[in-house]
Structure 1
Amino acid sequence: MSLNQAQVDAVEHLLMAFLKHSENAQIVAKVYEDAYSSIMGSDGPAGTAEKMASLEHLNNLRLQLK
């Protein structure tokens, strides 16, 4: 595993732990919406395939919160 991937995994686990302990569903929904917008915007991956892969992963993470 590369250092970059390890960093991404650590941030993902940190965020998921935070969101799982959040008692406010509106905050969780807003975080998801902001992440979606970021991926689809200029801050997201450059290509369409990369954006779609990122969105798929984001949706999988969202399912883990339910």
Structure 2
Amino acid sequence: MSLNQAQVDAVEHLLMAFLKRSESAQIVAKVYEDAYSSIMGSEGPAAMEEKEAALEHLNNLRLQLK
């Protein structure tokens, strides 16, 4: 596993742990909306194919929270 992938995995696990402990569904929904906007905006990947892949992963993470 590359260092970049290890860093991404660590951040993903940290975020998921935080969101799973959140008692407010509104906070979780807002975090998802912000992440979606970030991916689709100028902060996200440049190519539409990469944006779609990132959104697919984001949606998979959201499903893990339910």
TM-score (norm 2): 0.99
Indicate the residue corresponding to 1:31 in structure 2.
Answer: 31
1:15 to partner: Cα distance: 0.2
Q: Flag structure 1 segments of 5+ consecutive residues without an equivalent.
A: none
* Pairing of 1:1-66 with structure 2 (within 5 A): 1-66=1-66
Taking the aligned partners of 1:14 and 1:45, their CA distance within structure 2 comes to 22
How many percent of aligned residue pairs carry the same amino acid? Answer: 88
Taking the aligned partners of 1:64 and 1:45, their CA distance within structure 2 comes to 23
In the alignment of these two chains, the number of paired residues is 66
Deviations 1:23-53 (A, max 9, x none): 0000000000000000000000010000000
Where does structure 1 differ by over 4 angstroms across 4 or more consecutive aligned residues?
none
User: What is the Cα-based RMSD across aligned positions, in Å?
Assistant: 0.3
